[in-house]
Structure 1
Amino acid sequence: MPCFQCGARQTDPVRGSSPWKRGVRADRQVLICPDCLAVADAVARLDRCVACGSVALGCRLGEIECRDCGHTREAVRDEGAHAGDLVPSGAHPADTGLSEEVAAALTRFFKRDPGT
């Protein structure tokens, strides 16, 4: 899943906690990259808890739950919306080079030459 703000994809994870953060936007789980976290606009565009105003929301099994106060509500899905609707206007999911990133990760994992 790319960053909802800029479309960047996570690289291979390192040990420890991830600098990427989760949030909810338009009742869908999204990720925010570390660069966009530094921009106040990215956090301001996230959904907020109706009970406490926190942006620490998580989406699971059709529910939105606040990780701060525990308030839950049903996620409202717009059937006309698609996952690509949350990709920034300058990026398209097919343009992010995901297939090349996956091939490179598999090559590193299996420690093999990509031509074999």
Structure 2
Amino acid sequence: MPCYRCGARQTDPVRGASPWKRGVRRETQVLVCPDCQRLHGLDLEACETCGSTTLICRLGEVECRSCGAVRAARSDSLVGSDMGASSASPASSSTPAGLSGLSAEVEAALDRVLGRA
């Protein structure tokens, strides 16, 4: 997965912790390269409980690595809209539109890995 800001690809890591940072942006897990981490305004989501940007997104949930708070990911139809999370219910996060978006992402990833055109 490349850096979401500049598109740089990760190289094989050296020993120790990776200098790349994980975050969540528009309900999607993203990576930020060390160069882009120095910039301000990364536009990453922050934890509603503690304000940290060390979030991970997995299986329809967003978890804060700092305080452990977990919330349901908002549906695709609400991401980027003016409504935000104001009236999203947990049931609305499993819409068919969200599943079709996930299916497209999985298909694209398989095409990249298997070398399909």
- The answer to whether TM tops 0.5 is yes
| Aligned residue type for 1:10 | Q
Give matches, 1:63-78, under 5 Å. 63-78=61-76
Shift of 1:82: 6.0
What percentage of aligned pairs have identical amino acids? 59
Q: Deviations over 1:6-36 (max 9, x none)?
A: 1111012212111100000011110000000
Q: Do residues 20 (structure 1) and 16 (structure 2) align?
A: no
Give secondary structure in 2 for the equivalent of 1:3.
coil
Map Cα deviations across residues 50-101 of structure 1 (whole Å, 9 max, x no partner): 1111101111221101111111101123147969xxxxxxxxxxxxxx89xx
Q: Which residue of 1 aligns with 2:30?
A: 30
Uncovered stretches (5+) of structure 2, i.e. residues with no partner: 77-96, 103-111
Gaps of at least 5 residues in structure 1 are: 84-97, 100-116
Moved more, 9-18 or 27-36: 9-18
TM-score (norm 1): 0.64
Query: Superposition RMSD on alpha carbons, in Å?
Result: 2.2
Tell me, yes or no, if structure 1 residue 60 matches structure 2 residue 58.
yes
Aligned length: 83
TM-score by length of 2: 0.63
Compared CA separation, residues 61 and 82, structure 1 to 2 (3 A): closer
